[in-house]
Amino acid sequence: MAMQKRKLLIPFLILILAIFIPIKILSFEKEKPKEKVKGTKITMATITPTLIPTFTPTLTPSPTAMPSPTLIPSPTATPSPTITPIVILPSDLEELFVKYASEYSIDKELLKRIAKCESNFNTNAGGDLYAGLFQFAKPIWGQTRTLMEKDIDPNLRFNPEEAIRTAAFMVSQNHLGIWPVCGK
C-alpha cells in the first residue's frame, strides 16, 4: 500500500512543480532599462522565461490477440463420366464417313470427332503445312498415301472424300498419334 502511495506521490510532485515554476518565472516583472550615461555603457539583463518540459505519462496499450481465420473446407466436385458427343454433320460428309468407316472397319464416330476437333468440319481449314478436315501435314500425307497406293498430291488434303479415306486408313492402322489431342 505504501509503495502505491509513493508511486502516486512522485507524479503529483512533478505536476505541481511543472505548474508552479513557469508561473513564478512569468510573474517576475521586467525592470525598465535605465537611461544611458554619457561615456559609459550599461547593458541590462532581461529574464526570458523558458518552458520546462514536463513529464506526461503515456499508457501503452497491450496488444490484443488477433483471432486466426477458421478454414472452411470447400466441397469437392463429384466426378461424372465423360460423355462422348455424337457429332452431327452436313449430309454430304455424313455419307463419306459412313462409307470409309465401313470400308476400313473403324468407328465412324471417332473419325467424326477427330475432324470436328481438327477443323470443325471445314474442308478448307489450314494452310501450307497442315491442311484439310484432318489437318494432315504434307510429309504424313505423302507417306500415308504411298502406303495406300493413292495419289500423293498434297492439294488432295482439301478434298473431303480423300481426306476422310486417308484418315480412316490411319485409324485402321492404329496411327492415332498424328492427332495427339483430337485422336484421344
If you search the block for the grid coordinates 486466426, which residue do you land on? 68
Assigned domain for 108 exists:
yes
Assigned domain for 140 exists:
yes
Assigned domain for 74 exists:
no
Assigned domain for 20 exists:
no
Mean pLDDT of the 71-87 span: 68
Rounded Cα distance, 99 and 111, in Å = 12
Mean pLDDT of the 84-101 span: 78
pLDDT at 142: 95
Assigned domain for 171 exists:
yes
Q: Would you call 148 exposed, middle or buried from its count of C-beta atoms within 10 A (0-12, 13-18, 19+)?
A: middle
Dump pLDDT digits (tens) for 150-161: 999 999 999 999
Residues 6+ apart with CB under 8 A from 155: none
CATH at 160:
1.10.530.10
pLDDT at 135: 94
Assigned domain for 139 exists:
yes
Measured at the alpha carbon of residue 128, what is the angle toward residues 113 and 130, in degrees to the nearest 5? Answer: 25
pLDDT classification of 66: cutoffs 50, 70, 90: confident
More confident residue, 65 or 126: 126
Is the model's pLDDT at 127 over the cut of 90?
no
Amino acid code (one letter) for 151: D
pTM for the complete prediction?
A: 0.53
Is the model's pLDDT at 162 over the cut of 80?
yes
Assigned domain for 39 exists:
no
Other Cβ atoms within 10 Å of 165 Cβ, number: 20
Q: For residue 136, give the H/E element and its range.
A: strand 136-137
Assigned domain for 144 exists:
yes
Q: How many domains does the chain have?
A: 1
Look at phi and psi of residue 174 and say left if phi exceeds 0, alpha if psi is from -120 to 50, else beta: left
The domain of 123 spans 91-178
